[in-house]
């Protein structure tokens, strides 16, 4: 993101050094966050899990598409439930060649499911010895932010306290709307989608939990019991505000996807606040 003139095509070490010195003096250089070795290792493990999840979804779609081509339809309620897996074990295709294809697709789904389980188990074990684990544990006080979402967010963003305010974090995640002001007119468009896509996707997935009324579930209560009172207060404040915000935006006729993105943007601000409290509050 170093500013560069369009017609400047002469590149030498001396010219580069002088240009960097001028940009540094004027404050036009954008700082870059360099993760530590352990931080990058957790990030790689988190991304491997995400890749496996994507491969598993693709394998399931191939299997279902193959069965539809053969007009073999499942009449049960939920796909990939125990009853659906039992039904798959009884499927017989019209020809031996198609039966081989079917078995290969089923085996691919099984392998990807087992691989996903291994990576999730390894991720939960490795993160417990990570230097940022207190932040990961504290972020789970928020509704919709379980271990996977918290680990993905922290692994991709690093230390959240490096942002001076929540708005900087929102801009980094690409969750702020784009603007096209002209004169006295201010027009907003879709979100910028700049920054880290992995963290943005995780936040949007967690934001769907706020479409239901504010409530402390049993699983959330178990996570809150381990955390300081200040973190618990932020969790409840986030629930009340974000659930109310979701209802208000839906009542205005907004699209559900747009509303969830708006909720994810505000959710990142509560994450930043929790990270600030963890930086000054020792682990309970």
Given a cut of 80, is residue 18 above it in pLDDT?
yes
**Residue 279 confidence class, pLDDT cut points 50, 70, 90:** low
What's the token pair of residue 32? Answer: 């870059």
CB 172 within 8 A of CB 196: yes
Q: Average pLDDT over the chain, rounded to whole?
A: 93
Give residues with Cβ within 8 angstroms of 144, minimum separation 6: 205, 206, 207, 208, 209, 210, 267
Given a cut of 60, is residue 189 above it in pLDDT?
yes
| Better pLDDT: 260 or 284 | 260
pLDDT reported for residue 278: 87
| Burial grade of 117 (CB within 10 A; 0-12, 13-18, 19 or more) | exposed
Max Cα separation, the chain? 74
Rounded to whole angstroms, how far apart are CA atoms 138 and 150? 9
Rounded to whole angstroms, how far apart are CA atoms 236 and 24? 43
Taking the model in full, what pTM does it have?
0.87
Given a cut of 70, is residue 281 above it in pLDDT?
no
Mean per-residue pLDDT, 21-30 = 91
Strand-pairing partners, residue 182, are 185
pLDDT reported for residue 283: 46
Given a cut of 50, is residue 135 above it in pLDDT?
yes
- 142: three-class secondary structure by DSSP: coil
Given a cut of 50, is residue 252 above it in pLDDT?
yes
- Which pLDDT tens digit goes with each residue over 77-117? 899 999 999 999 999 999 999 999 999 999 999 999 999 99
- Which pLDDT tens digit goes with each residue over 211-225? 999 999 999 999 999
Given a cut of 70, is residue 284 above it in pLDDT?
no
| Burial grade of 270 (CB within 10 A; 0-12, 13-18, 19 or more) | buried
Q: Sort strands 177-179 and 188-191 into parallel, antiparallel or unpaired.
A: antiparallel
């Amino acid at each position: 993101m170093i500013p560069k003139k369009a017609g400047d095509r002469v590149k030498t070490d001396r010219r580069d050094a002088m240009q960097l010195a001028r940009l540094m003096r004027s404050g036009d250089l954008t700082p870059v966050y360099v993760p530590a070795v352990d931080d990058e290792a957790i990030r790689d493990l988190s991304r491997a899990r995400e890749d496996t999840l994507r491969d598993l979804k693709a394998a399931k779609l191939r299997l279902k598409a193959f069965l539809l081509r053969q007009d073999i339809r499942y009449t049960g309620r939920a796909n990939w439930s125990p009853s659906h897996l039992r039904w798959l074990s009884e499927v017989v295709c019209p020809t031996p060649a198609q039966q081989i294809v079917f078995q290969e697709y089923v085996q691919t789904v099984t392998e990807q499911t087992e691989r996903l389980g291994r990576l999730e188990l390894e991720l939960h074990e490795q993160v417990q010895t990570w230097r940022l684990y207190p932040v990961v544990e504290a972020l789970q006080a928020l509704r919709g932010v379980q271990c996977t979402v918290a680990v993905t967010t922290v692994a991709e963003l690093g230390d959240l306290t490096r942002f001076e305010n929540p708005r900087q974090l929102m801009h980094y995640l690409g969750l702020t709307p784009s603007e096209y002001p002209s004169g006295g007119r201010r027009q907003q468009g879709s979100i910028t989608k700049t920054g880290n896509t992995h963290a943005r996707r995780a936040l949007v997935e967690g934001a769907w939990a706020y479409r239901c009324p504010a409530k402390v579930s049993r699983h959330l209560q178990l996570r809150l019991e381990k955390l300081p009172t200040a973190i618990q207060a932020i969790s409840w404040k986030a629930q009340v505000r974000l659930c109310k915000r979701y209802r208000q935006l839906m009542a205005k006729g907004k699209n559900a996807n747009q509303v969830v993105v708006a909720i994810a943007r505000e959710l990142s601000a509560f994450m930043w606040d929790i990270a600030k409290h963890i930086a000054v509050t020792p682990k309970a």
